[in-house]
Structure 1
Amino acid sequence: MSLPFDTLDALMPMHLQISRDGRLRHAGPTLRKLLNSSVGEGRHFADVIEVYRPKRAETLPMLLELAGRRLQTRLRCGRRVALKGLVMPDGAGGAIVNLSFGIGVVDGVRMHSLTSTDFAVTDLAIDMLYLVEAKSAAMEASRTLNRRLQGAMMVAEQRAFTDALTGLQNRRAMDEALKRLIRGGERFAVLHLDLDFFKQVNDTRGHAAGDRVLQAVARVMIDLTRKNDFVARVGGDEFVIILDGLTDRGRLAELADRLIERIEHPIPVDGDICRISASIGIAFNRPDAMPMETGAQLLERADEALYSAKRHGRAQHAFSDEDVVRELP
């Protein structure tokens, strides 16, 4: 005597019951979902599933010859899903074919919107689905954490290379930029800028006013330099500008004069006016020099030019003596 349909549906939600004439008697509820409910009783089993391994089986006798062996099948109705199967005689001249997704269960669940209720409670697919969901959740959590860590690292790195007051690059960033450009054999100019009369602002109006003046000077330098130029605050009122690829003395002199002229504009601070100026020393990187000059040596020459400008009255620029006597080609 064959088992009731509801018993088989609970034990094997993806089964087919085939009568002695090879026709479908019943299909489990999950299998009906895959078939889009398009299969009714009375159709021949070969119209519903294609058994192609270990060999083709298009009649019930051929199918029963494969009893107990692992089958590879495809659905002929609905989506042509590949399924694993096992066929056994039902004791009444017919057969029962139990089907499963095998390792393709995750794709099957996603494709057909299946849930845990579509599988037998003893089916290992349920545990596998829980593991897959847990793994997906863990991977998403890991990706989120990695994104946060990368963002935090970028922020930390940016802070490590940024002057907090002005938003310009800092001395550490300048050192790295000089190393990179010198190592690459690039021709560039370094402008070392020091503010004149800034100490009087701090002494008479306080450090808060001095900070506002430094921020205003930083905006001037950003306004007058190119987007890819390097601008850094390297000390209290000292700044360095690195101009990659610009070594024309005339253009550099013009830029230095414009910087000084703009910095000399009155700076309003809390209803008062602050007045400062600037002196600038200019030095060129010489990639053909032997031995190759270091960043510290280049800055030292720019610093010497800066103090030459100060000695000659401030509010002006000067080129490094070595660059004056040795023009770049």
Structure 2
Amino acid sequence: MKISIIGATGYTGEELLRLLAGHPDAEIVHITSESQTGAAIQTVYPHLRGFYDKKLESLRELEAMADSDVAFIALPHGHAMEAGKQLSRMGVKVIDLGADYRFRDPAVYEQWYRVPHTYRDAQAVYGLTELYRAQVKEASIVGNPGCFTTASILALAPLVKFRLIELDTMIVDAKSGVSGAGRGLNLSSHFTEVFENLKAYNIAGHRHTPEIEQALGEIAGSAVTVSFTPHLIPMARGILSTCYAGIKPGVSAGDIDAAFQALYAGEFFIRLLGRGGYPATKNTRGSNFCDLGWHIDSRTNRVIVVSAIDNLVKGAAGQAVQNMNVMFGLDERAGLTQVPLYP
């Protein structure tokens, strides 16, 4: 597999390099950075020394990537559309880790991201592998899901699929480590702003909201409404998503247990802690696993599902590699069987 990574110096680009270094079928042929063109990647990320000795190229030399089987695009939203269009014309498959190819309706993307969509006929597939595996297998362009969305959709999908909850009662309360904000300098992610602090942000207006509603609505076969509130917590990695929903009349705790088993029992990267389980971010750190546990609150007639992922792995680079494996008929676990880091 000849692989290019566009935007290799961000956290998700670096994480792709880390994971692919252990992939038995991966050869990195091009890596790019507009800010550090010409630098050796091991000078940017010294922990990669001994694994890579490649120099960073410019995206202006995109034609050179025609020798690639697949290109990962790890750029901010708005920058993957033209690159994806050119790569597709060269016969290179594309996995975009940004938001440019996540939405079925480009108008929804434009509404929430305030950027014109310039590749409206891309025929991209949403890359939440466990739920869209058949479509990913046939895809030429995959829109890799966001980190909050991955944790939240996987938590709620069994309840929605088997119609066990009221579809207008879903609430997602999610916490993310600071790496989710990216590597660029920003006052809100400075150490002194984050340390010993916990805050909510973008209440009732976070861009992952329509992405969550799109996926859950497709699973349900009807429109759904989700109230989503993200929080920033003082740690580098991890997402913990606590999801609430009203249980439909007549639904039992056993029905809810059976739904999770039915949807995920055969999924290697979904670890079911069961009813009463308490997922924790440290138990998924550095891995492509999503841990799920659920609780029944009979007093309020709600089900509460807790999910934990590493935002840079299952929430970004790991899921992208998982999608690549599916697209090319490789072992879906290739390059992704690392045991989570602990403590």
> Is the structural similarity TM-score above 0.5?
no
TM-score scaled by structure 2?
Answer: 0.17
TM-score scaled by structure 1?
Answer: 0.18
Q: Which is higher, the Rg of structure 1 or of structure 2?
A: 1
Higher relative contact order (CA 8 A, sep 6+): 2
